[in-house]
Structure formats: structure tokens, C-alpha cells
Structure 1
Amino acid sequence: MALQLSHAVSDGIRRTLTRTGGILFLGFLVIQLGIQTAVNSAVLGYLPPEAAAQFSSNAGLTLPISGRVGLVLFGVLTVLSSAYFVILSRTFAQPLSEASTFPATSTQRLGRATATAFVGGVIVSVTVLIGFVLLFFPGLFFAASFLFFIFAVAVEDRGLISSLKRSWGLARGSRLKLSVLVVVSGLFGGGIGAVSPLLDLAGVPVVADIATIVLTTVFFLPYYAIIASAYLQLRDGHDTLDGSTPNPVDASQTQKL
């Protein structure tokens, strides 16, 4: 089945503008605020006292904690972020008629799915990064190929290798259109990233952190809903094609007339 990108966009936006979309928006916002605060606090905590005193006014969101505590907090929130994306994927991938409520399976086997999503996310990120460093286009190819990894983990309850293979298979034949989503996300990410330095130069680092996180959430939540819609299109089309070819019948086991 050919991916209908315009339908994925409109359907993804509808999935975002629901009660669950609002809750997921707040969850994403809180996690990102926590991660940014943990990173800033860890960096500030590991600096020498003199350097920390000079840097503190430009550090943005921070907490009065040590560098070690900040690092632990970052690790905890990173794992929590993986769990969040499992729940997000399961929520956005349910039928649109049920999009206003969280699915009953939203927390099913959450620990296993979170661990798989975390490890797989690291593998995919490193693979895509290496691809971009080499010649750019390999990175774009890998990013499009593994775009559905989290949905294979969360929705289909697959393991690490199986999810990577599943995403690769679903993307086959639609990588060019999926690459458009990857490029658009990169452009928006770059634009959002430019906001922080400008506000830092204006002397409002806390506002810079908050503005960047809010803009990131506003863009990337619908982005994941659009990917969910694309996943549903390709999954249903792929499974229909697989199911349309019946298993061969063993004629030797068929009763003769």
C-alpha cells in the first residue's frame, strides 16, 4: 500500500487535538523540562566553584543539587522518557474513534517495552548519526527505515531485533515520503534550536530553555501522531497483502472425489 502522506498529516493532527493528546502534551513538556534542568544542574555541579559561580547566571533552568545527583536525575528521566514514548505510541496508534481515551494496554508489559525502546533508541540514534556523518543520505535512509521502530516495540510487543526488522519492512517502498518527514523534523528542530542562542544573547537563559522546550513539544507531539498514522496505513496495508496470499494447500492431504 502506498503511503498517503497528506492523510497521515491530517489524521495525525486530529489525534493530537484530543483529550489524550492534551495529557501527552503536558507529559512531554514536564519530561523535557526535567531533562533540561537535570543537564544544566549536572554541568553546573561538576564545574569548579569559581567557574560555576560565573556560569550560574547563564545556566538556564537549574536545581540546587550536586553534579552527581543531576546526572542520576538525567538518567532516570531518560528512562522515563522511553516509557512515555511507549505509552504515546500505543495511544496514537489506536483507532481514531477511541483517541480520546488511553488504551487498556497502555501500560501492559511496560518495563520490557521501555527497556527495548531505550536500547533500540540508542542503536538507531548511533546508526543514523554515523550515516549523517558519512554522506548525509545514508543517515536519511536509516532514519526513514527505523521511523516505526517504537511502534513495533510498543504496539506489536516485539523484541529488539524483530522491531528493527519490522520497521525496515514497513518502510520499504515508502522511504522517499518518510524521508520528507525526517527532513521537515530536522528543519523545524534546527529552527527551534536557533531560538535558544538568541534569547541567551538577550540575557534571559531561563526563558530560552522554556521557550525551546515549549516549541519542541508543540512541534514534535503532532509529528509523532503523524508517524503513528503513517504506521497504521503501512501496517494495515502490509498485513492485508500478507493475508491475501493463502498458505499453499498440501494436495496429498485433500480427499479425492
Structure 2
Amino acid sequence: MALQLTQAVSDGIRRTVSRTGGILFLGFLIIQLGVQTSVNSAVLGFLPPAAAEQFEQNVGLALPIPGSVGIALFIALTVLSSTFFVVLSRTFAQPLSDVSTFPATSTRRLGRATAIALVGGVIVSFSIMIGTILLLFPGLFLAASFLFFIFAVAVEDRGLIGSLKRSWGLARGSRLKLGLLVVVSALFGGFLGGVGSLLDLAGMAVVSDVVTVVLTTVFFLPYYAIIASAYLQLRDGRDAPNRSTATPVDASQTPEL
């Protein structure tokens, strides 16, 4: 089945504009604010006191905590973020009629799914980074191929290798259209970097962090809902024939009684 990208976009937006979409928006926003604060706090915490006092106004959101505590907070929030994306994927991959509520399976084998999502996310990110360094096209190709990894983990309860293979298979034949989604996210990242840099140059580091986090949440929540819709299209389109077409019984091979 060919991916209908415009349908995925409209369907994804409808999935976002719901009660669960609002809850997920707040959760995403809080996690992103926490991650940014933990990174800034870790940087300041490891600087000598004189240097920390000098750069404090240029760092943005930060807490007066030791650098080691900042790193521990960052690690905890990274794990929480993986858990969040498992729940997000299960919620957005529901039928559209059910998307206003969280699925009963949202916490099913959550620890296992979180661990696989975390490890797989590192592998996918590293692969895309290497592909992009070598040449832009391999990075884009890999990013499009592994867009559905988190859904294979969260929705289908697959393991690490199985989820990578499943995402690769689902993307086959639709990588050009999926690549457009990757390019849009990359362009948004460039825009976001420009906005943050301008606010930093204006001496508004805290405002820069807040604006960056809010814009990131506003963009990426519907973005993941669109990917969820694309995943459902390709999954149902490819699995339906397998479910509906049973292997016919060859009567000639049936032994006579």
C-alpha cells in the first residue's frame, strides 16, 4: 500500500486535538523543560565558582545544584522521556474514535518497552549521525527507514532487532514520502536554532530556553501523531492481506481415509 501523506497529516492533526493530546502536550512540555534545565545545571555545576557566576546569565534555565546531580537528573529524565514516548505511541496508534482516552494497554510491559526504546533510540540516532556525516542521503535514508521503530516497540511489543526490521519493512516503498517528513523536522530544527541564537544574542537566555521548548513541543507532538497515522496506514495496508487470505487447503494432498 502506498502511503497517503496528506491523509496522514490531516489524520495526525485530528489525533493531536483531543483530551489526551492536551495531556500529552503538557507532559512533553514538562519533560523538555526538565531536560533543558538539567543540562544547563550540569554545565554550571562543573564550572569553577568564578566562571559559573560569570556565565550564569548566559546559560538560561538552571538550578543551583552540583554538576553530578544535574547529570543524574538528566539521565532520569531521559529514561522518563523514553517511557513517555512509549505511552504516546500507544495512544496515537489507537483507532481515531478511541484517541480521546488513553488505551488500556498504555502501561503494558512498560519497563521492557522503555528499555528497548532507549537502547534502540541510541542505535538509530548513532546510525543516522554516521550516515549524515558520510553523506547526507544515507542519513536521510536511515532516518526515514527507522521512523516507525518506536511504534514497533510500543504497539507491537517487538524486541530490539525485530522492531528495527519491522520499521525497515514498513518504510519500504514509502521512503521518499517519509523522507519529506524528516526534511521538514530538520528544517524546523534549523529555524529553532536560529530563533534561540537571536534570543541568546539579545541577552535573553531564559526566554530563549522557554521559547525553544514550547516551539519544540508545539511542532513535535503533531509530528509524532502524523507518523503514527502513517504507521497505521502502512501496517494495516500490508498486514490486512495476510490476515484475510488464509493458505488454501489442497484437497489433493489430503490423505484418503
**Fold shared, TM-score > 0.5 on shorter chain:** yes
What are the superposed Cα offsets for residues 176-216 of structure 1, whole Å, 9 maximum, x if unpaired?
A: 00000000011011101211111111111000000000000
Moved more, 209-218 or 233-242: 233-242
CA distance in 1, matches of 2:67, 2:216: 26
Q: Where does the alignment leave 5 or more consecutive residues of structure 1 unmatched?
A: none
- Quick one: which amino acid aligns to residue 155 of structure 1? V
C-alpha displacement of 1:48: 1.4
Q: Report % sequence identity.
A: 77
What are the superposed Cα offsets for residues 133-189 of structure 1, whole Å, 9 maximum, x if unpaired?
A: 101100000000000000000000000000000000000000000000000011011
CA distance in 2, matches of 1:49, 1:241: 65
What is the TM-score of this pair, normalised by structure 1? 0.97
C-alpha displacement of 1:243: 3.0
What is the TM-score of this pair, normalised by structure 2? 0.97
Q: In the alignment, which residue of structure 2 is the partner of 1:200?
A: 200
Q: In the alignment, which residue of structure 2 is the partner of 1:28?
A: 28
CA distance in 2, matches of 1:151, 1:200: 36
Moved more, 174-183 or 188-197: 188-197
1:104 aligned onto 2:104: yes
What are the superposed Cα offsets for residues 7-60 of structure 1, whole Å, 9 maximum, x if unpaired?
A: 000000000000000000000000000000000000000111221111111110
Q: In the alignment, which residue of structure 2 is the partner of 1:40?
A: 40
C-alpha displacement of 1:120: 0.2
Q: In the alignment, which residue of structure 2 is the partner of 1:73?
A: 73
Moved more, 50-59 or 178-187: 50-59
Q: Give SS of 2:64's match.
A: coil
CA distance in 2, matches of 1:64, 1:250: 74
Q: Where does the alignment leave 5 or more consecutive residues of structure 2 unmatched?
A: none
Moved more, 197-206 or 219-228: 197-206
1:176 aligned onto 2:176: yes
- Write out aligned runs for 1:223-242 (5 A): 223-242=223-242
Q: Give SS of 1:194's match.
A: helix
Q: In the alignment, which residue of structure 1 is the partner of 2:87?
A: 87
CA distance in 2, matches of 1:203, 1:153: 42
What are the superposed Cα offsets for residues 109-149 of structure 1, whole Å, 9 maximum, x if unpaired?
A: 10000000000000000000101110110000000000000
- Quick one: which amino acid aligns to residue 65 of structure 1? I
C-alpha displacement of 1:245: 4.4
